Chains A and B, each alone.
Chain A
Amino acid sequence: MAILERHFESVAIQGGELPEILLPTNCPGCGIGLEQVELRAHNYVCANCGHHFRLGADVWIPLIADDGSWAERWADIRSHDLLNWTVPKRYQETVETLLDEGLNEAVRTGTCTLDGKPIWLATFDFGFVGGTLSIVAGERLARGMEQAASSRTPYVLISASGGARMQEGVLALMQLAKVNAAVGRLHESGVPFFSVLSDPTFGGTAASLALLGDINIAEPGASIGFTGPRVIKQATYADLPDGFQSAEFQLAHGQVDLVLPRTELRPLLAHLLEMYAT
Chain B
Amino acid sequence: MSVWEIVELARHPQRPYSLDYIRRLAPDFIELHGDRLSADDPALVGGIGTWHDRTTVFLGHQKGRSMKERVARNWGMMHPEGYRKALRLAHHAAKFGFPIVSLIDTPGAYPGAGAEERGIAAAIAVAIMDWFRIRVPIVAAVIGEGGSGGALGMGVADRVIMLENSIYSVASPEAAASIVWRDNSRKVEAAEQLQITSREILAMGVVEEVVAEPEGSASADYDAAAAALDEALDRQMKPLLEMHPTDLMQQRYDRFRYIDSLVHAEPHFGPKI
Contacts and interface: CB of A to CB of B under 8 A. Distances in A.
Given A164-B171, A173-B170, A177-B259, A204 B112 contact: no
Interface string A171-214: 11111111011111101000000000000000110111111100
Given A87-B189, A232-B111, A177 B156 contact: yes
Given A87-B193, A166-B194, A244-B113, A231 B259 contact: no
A62 B260 CA distance: 32
B128 A236 contact: no
Contacts, number: 180
Interface in A134-166: 135, 138-139, 142-143, 162, 164-166
A270 to B, nearest CB: 27
A78 B257 contact: no
Given A166-B176, A184-B132, A226-B120, A88 B152 contact: no
A231 B111 contact: yes
A164 to B, nearest CB: 5
Contacts of A184: 129-130, 132-133
Contacts of B252: 181
Main SS at interface, chain B:
helix
B220 interface: no
Contacts of A113: none
Contacts of B31: none
A134 B122 CA distance: 20
Contacts of B19: none
Contacts of A207: 120-122, 124-125, 128, 149, 153
A103 B81 CA distance: 39
Interface string A77-91: 110101101111000
Contacts of B193: 83, 85-87
Interface string A101-114: 00000000000000
B: contact size bracket: 35 or more
Interface of B: 109, 111-113, 115-122, 124-126, 128-130, 132-133, 148-149, 152-153, 155-156, 168-171, 175-176, 178-181, 184, 189, 193-196, 201, 204, 206, 252-253, 256-257, 259-260, 263-264, 266, 268-270
Given A173-B169, A207-B122, A226-B121, 20 more contacts: A74-B268, A87-B180, A87-B181, A164-B149, A166-B170, A170-B168, A170-B196, A177-B156, A184-B130, A204-B148, A206-B122, A206-B125, A207-B121, A208-B128, A211-B125, A231-B175, A232-B116, A234-B184, A235-B111, A245-B116
